[in-house]
């Protein structure tokens, strides 16, 4: 079994879509705006400002900054409470950690709501490290950059590690850092993942899938 496993958060471990989408809707309405694209789970994953620009259609940077701050306030006090754990996640994480694997989170989500959600859901205890783009100043430019920082900080052997995520960005973070990638196909961002990636349809199957990695060729998206 790989000794170190990196996880995306939204769409991989948690279903955060109800709270995030509700916060988007409230924030847009409060600013007299209507979404220019449907508010659906496929929006979740990219950095907040990128998504707010997409859903609002605004090219006004000052307005975009206000939308970002309003979203943070709404989501950090109300929206995050609607988050649910995907089936099998709590037991699967406990099983992996109990088998001696070190578990890490690498997410575009800001650190404040990430910590709140993991604490409320009782998942934080399973992780050796929780890492976000906004934990450094300046903010990390990409999830791949956060992944590299995690690998370096913890002395992770890439040949004994893998990345589990649902999106193209997760796949790219794995590829750019020489990690095997497991695609959480039940998540939000499955459209562009290459067919050759290891596919995970149910989280409860992850421990068994990871056990087989030592006997399989490297998988890169």
Tell me if residue 218 is catalytic.
no
DSSP per position, the chain: --SEEEE--BTTTEE-HHHHHHHHHHHHHHTT---SS---GGG-SS-HHHHHHHHH----HHHHHHHHHHHHHHHHHTGGGG-EEPTTHHHHHHHHHHTT-EEEEEESS-HHHHHHHHHHHT-GGG-SEEEEGGGSSSPPS-HHHHHHHHHHHTT--GGGEEEEESSHHHHHHHHHTT-EEEEETTSS--TT--TTSEEESSGGGHHHHHHGGGGS-----
Q: Which of 4, 8, 166, 170 is an active site residue?
A: 8
Which sequence positions are flagged as catalytic? 8
């Amino acid at each position: 079994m790989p000794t170190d496993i990196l996880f995306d958060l939204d769409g991989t471990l948690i279903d955060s879509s109800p709270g995030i989408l509700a916060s988007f809707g409230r924030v847009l309405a409060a600013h007299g705006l209507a979404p220019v694209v449907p508010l659906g789970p496929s929006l979740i994953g990219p950095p907040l400002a990128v998504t707010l620009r997409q859903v609002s259609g605004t090219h006004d940077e000052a307005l975009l900054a206000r939308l970002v701050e309003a979203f943070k306030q709404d989501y950090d006090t109300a929206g995050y409470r609607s988050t649910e754990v995907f089936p099998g996640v709590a037991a699967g994480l406990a099983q992996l950690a109990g088998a001696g694997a070190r578990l890490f989170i690498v997410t575009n989500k800001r650190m404040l709501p990430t910590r709140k959600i993991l604490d409320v859901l009782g998942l934080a205890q399973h992780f050796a490290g929780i890492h976000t783009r906004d934990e450094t100043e300046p903010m990390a430019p990409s999830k791949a950059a956060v992944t590299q920082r995690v690998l370096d900080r913890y002395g992770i052997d890439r040949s004994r590690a893998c990345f589990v995520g649902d999106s193209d960005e997760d796949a790219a973070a794995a590829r750019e850092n020489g990690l095997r990638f497991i695609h959480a196909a039940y998540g939000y961002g499955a459209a562009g993942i290459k067919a050759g990636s290891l596919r995970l349809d149910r989280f409860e199957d992850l421990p068994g899938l990871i056990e087989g990695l030592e006997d399989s060729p490297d998988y890169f998206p």
